[in-house]
């Protein structure tokens, strides 16, 4: 669901209704708007051009020759619609940028700004997307879909080793989660669509912000966010693999602290914490193994985790009896 597109459509409807109202108020005037034959011919040339790029070129010539033409809004709208219908994100970006070279009026630019921003996001043009989005969010800080998209985009960059937008992505993702969990439904979105959007977006947002925290070496935040993604049934195996790693690291840290402690009540309390974390680690491994089973992309990780889990489980329980049932529990889920 693209709320920005819905908003743009709503705005277009408002403009159309406003235009109709103006026309009705002027019905009593005897003179209609005059369009010269040259304007009509130039507009017809746009329609006859083959392909959107050629039509944009013809439209550029039209605007240069007839900048005040009453046909200009129609031409701008029709070309904006064509650009919106373009499937290739890179081509859509090129077309929108060309359009903005000569359709410079605010009302004209508004027809493609959302299209261009979405195309930047879909094409992974992170610098352009964040730069353009900052102006949009300054005017509409509660644009939940834009916040969600930017958080996911930032997490994708972090995975590739680019932390430039990590802080912004974490901020935007947290804001989007807040809006979703507070049920701040955008105007014009019905309850059923909103419910579906929430169900799809929350796991993705907890995943994205969890990954950003993991790469920023913030294990507490990463664990909390990724556990929420897992609880919401994220379909990404990476969520469960990272949780396994985070839980094991925490177990290892607690175990090392326990080993150097002097005998006594504090050490006995520390042992309980170690055992509790080991149990949590076993559960994380069992879930990750269940999720990745049969997935060729994660086969190596699956096999290694299975081997590690057997060692942990046997140490904790004295044997591997019951281990398969622990894994199967997550398969059923």
Selection from 208, 194, 204, 200 nearest residue 155 by Cα:
208
Least confident range of 30-34, 36-40, 59-63: 30-34
- Read off the pLDDT of residues 132-165 as tens digits, 9 standing for 90 and up: 999 999 999 999 999 999 999 999 999 999 999 9
pLDDT in tens, 4-35: 333 333 223 323 222 333 233 333 343 445 77
% of residues, the chain, pLDDT over 70: 89
DSSP 184-251: -PPTT--HHHHHHHHHHHHHHHHHHHHHHHHHTT-HHHHHHHHHHHHHTT---HHHHHHHHHHHHHHH
Tens digits of residue pLDDT in 162-202? 999 999 999 999 999 999 999 999 999 999 999 999 999 99
Give the burial string for 25-57 (b: 16+ CB within 10 Å, else e). eeeeeeeeeeeeeebeebbebbeeeeebeebbe
Task: Specify the pTM.
Answer: 0.82
Mean pLDDT over 44-64 rounds to 95
């Amino acid at each position: 669901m693209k709320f920005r597109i819905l908003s743009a459509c709503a705005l277009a409807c408002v403009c159309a209704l406003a235009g109709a109202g103006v026309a009705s108020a002027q019905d009593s005037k005897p003179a209609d708007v005059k369009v010269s034959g040259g304007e009509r011919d130039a507009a017809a040339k746009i329609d006859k051009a083959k392909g959107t790029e050629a039509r944009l070129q013809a439209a550029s010539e039209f605007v240069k020759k007839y900048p005040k033409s009453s046909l200009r809004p129609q031409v701008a709208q029709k070309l904006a619609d064509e650009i919106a219908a373009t499937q290739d994100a890179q081509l859509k970006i090129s077309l929108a940028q060309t359009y903005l070279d000569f359709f410079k009026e605010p009302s004209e630019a508004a027809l493609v700004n959302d299209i261009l921003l979405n195309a930047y996001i879909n094409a992974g043009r992170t610098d352009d997307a964040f730069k353009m989005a900052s102006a949009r969010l300054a005017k509409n800080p509660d644009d939940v879909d834009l916040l969600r998209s930017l958080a996911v985009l930032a997490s994708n960059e972090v995975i590739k080793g680019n932390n430039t937008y990590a802080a912004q992505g974490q901020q935007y993702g947290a804001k989007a989660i807040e809006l979703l969990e507070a049920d701040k439904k955008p105007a014009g979105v019905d309850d059923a669509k909103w419910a579906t959007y929430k169900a799809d977006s929350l796991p993705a947002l907890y995943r994205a912000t969890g990954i950003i925290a993991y790469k920023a070496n913030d294990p507490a935040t990463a664990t909390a966010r990724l556990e929420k993604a897992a609880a919401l049934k994220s379909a990404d195996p990476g969520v469960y693999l990272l949780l396994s790693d985070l839980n094991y690291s925490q177990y290892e840290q607690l175990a090392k602290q326990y080993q150097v402690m002097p005998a006594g009540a504090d050490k006995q309390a520390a042992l309980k914490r170690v055992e509790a974390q080991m149990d949590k680690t076993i559960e994380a491994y069992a879930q990750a193994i269940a999720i990745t089973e049969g997935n060729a992309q994660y086969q190596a990780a699956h096999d290694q985790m299975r081997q590690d889990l057997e060692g942990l489980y046997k140490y904790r329980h004295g044997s591997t009896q019951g281990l398969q049932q622990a894994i199967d529990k997550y398969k059923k889920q």
